[in-house]
Amino acid sequence: MADKRFPWAKTFVLGFGFFGISIVWPLFNWLYSAVFMALALFPMSRVRGRAALRKPALA
C-alpha cells in the first residue's frame, strides 16, 4: 500500500484542461454572439436588427 504514489501528471493535465476551457469559453461566447449579431439573427441585435426584420411597405 505504501508503494502507491499520487498521480501528479494526471492531476496537472486535468487542471490545465479546466484552465483551458475557462479561457476558451468566453472567447467562444463572444465570437458566437458577434456572428449572430452581424447576421441579424439575434432579436435584440442593434447591428442591422429591426430594419432588416421589418416587412417591406406596400407601394
Q: Does some domain include residue 1? A: no
Please answer whether residues 49 and 39 qualify as being in contact, where contact means their C-beta atoms are separated by less than 8 angstroms. no
Q: What pLDDT is recorded for position 51?
A: 56
Please check the confidence at residue 28 and state whether its pLDDT lies above 90: no
Scanning 1-59, the segments in alpha helix (DSSP H) are 8-38, 49-53
What total of structural domains would you count in the chain?
Answer: 1
User: What global pTM score does this model have?
Assistant: 0.49
| Domain interval for residue 26 | 9-53
Sign of CA dihedral 6, 10, 16, 22: negative
> Is the pLDDT higher at 7 or at 40?
7
What percent of the chain is modeled with pLDDT above 70? 58
Q: Does some domain include residue 45? A: yes
User: Torsion-angle region of residue 40: left (phi > 0), alpha (psi -120 to 50) or beta?
Assistant: left
Q: Does some domain include residue 41? A: yes
Please check the confidence at residue 34 and state whether its pLDDT lies above 70: yes
**What average pLDDT does the segment 36-44 reach?**
64
**What average pLDDT does the segment 45-55 reach?**
54
